[in-house]
Chains A and B, each alone.
Chain A
């Protein structure tokens, strides 16, 4: 168990409001990722981090920003939520700690976000 949690687990928000999702890990893994999962699209990478303050964009990064000020926390922010951002969001970690290589990922339980 890599000790990864996500908060909140469920959230309903209105269009135009800012939303921040939190991912927290306890095992000092180097890499952290944010994905969204939608029917017919599978898991799509939003942003990822390869260290404190080191982040990069994924394939669906528009409308999202991230921050990683500590090894254990990776925040995903929707600056102004839109209905198209209704989805299930997963955080994942990977790295040498805990037996995971850089390409094997351990996922959190997910956050279900609804934008009305």
Chain B
């Protein structure tokens, strides 16, 4: 049973387009992280959201945590080829518990 679902699984877009990827669960998380993983490398932490309704911006990336802390979204504005990679969400259900990873969204930005 996948506790964290991500959609879409694959996404291929042209440079300059906007996109949104989603991370959903039926469980409540005390915090949620987004990572990006490039081929042949380990995931790299992008952001952590903690408060329901929280919005964080990282340059052209906007992250939102749902009000009920069960879901999150990542919006990329004017995508660039350097945004290509696997985007993983991960959630912590309770403090000091193990983190659960979603299966990821594979993004390809075509020049």
Q: Which residues from chain A sit less than 8 Å from chain B, CB to CB?
A: 35, 40-45, 48, 58, 90, 92, 101-110
Evaluate contact between A42 and B45: CB separation under 8 angstroms: no
Beta-carbon contact of B95 and A107 below 8 Å:
no
Q: Is the interface on chain B under 10, 10 to 19, 20 to 34, or 35 or more residues?
A: 20 to 34
Q: Say whether B43 faces chain A, with CB atoms less than 8 Å apart.
A: yes
Query: Does B31 contact A103, Cβ atoms closer than 8 Å?
Result: yes
Alpha-carbon distance A48/B42, docked complex (angstroms)? 17
Given A43-B88, A109-B41, A110-B41, verify A104-B48 contact (CB < 8 Å): yes
B33 within 8 A of A: yes
Inter-chain contact B33/A107, CB cutoff 8 Å:
no
Give bound CA distance, A40 to B101, whole Å: 12
| Contact assessment for B42 and A103 in the assembled complex, using a CB-CB cutoff below 8 Å | no
A101 vs B92: C-alpha distance in the bound complex, in angstroms? 11
- How far is B43's CA from A106's CA once the two chains are assembled, in angstroms? 8
Query: Is the pair B102, A45 in contact by a Cβ cutoff of 8 Å?
Result: no
Residues of B within 8 A of A101 (CB): 48
**A90-B31 in contact (CB<8A):** no
Q: Are A45 and B103 in contact (CB under 8 A)?
A: no
Q: Does B11 contact A (CB under 8 A)?
A: no
A-B contact pairs, 25 of them (CB 8 A): A41-B103, A43-B88, A43-B90, A43-B101, A44-B101, A48-B98, A58-B98, A90-B43, A101-B48, A102-B95, A103-B31, A103-B48, A103-B92, A103-B99, A104-B45, A104-B48, A105-B45, A105-B90, A105-B99, A106-B45, A107-B35, A107-B43, A107-B44, A109-B42, A110-B40
Which chain A residues lie closer than 8 Å to B41 at the CB level? 109-110
Q: Which 3 interchain pairs have the tightest Cβ spacing?
A: A107-B42, A42-B103, A103-B92
Residues of B within 8 A of A108 (CB): 42
Closest to B95 in A: A102
The residues of A that contact B44 with a CB separation of less than 8 Å are 107
Within 8 A of A (CB), among B79-99: 88, 90, 92, 95-96, 98-99
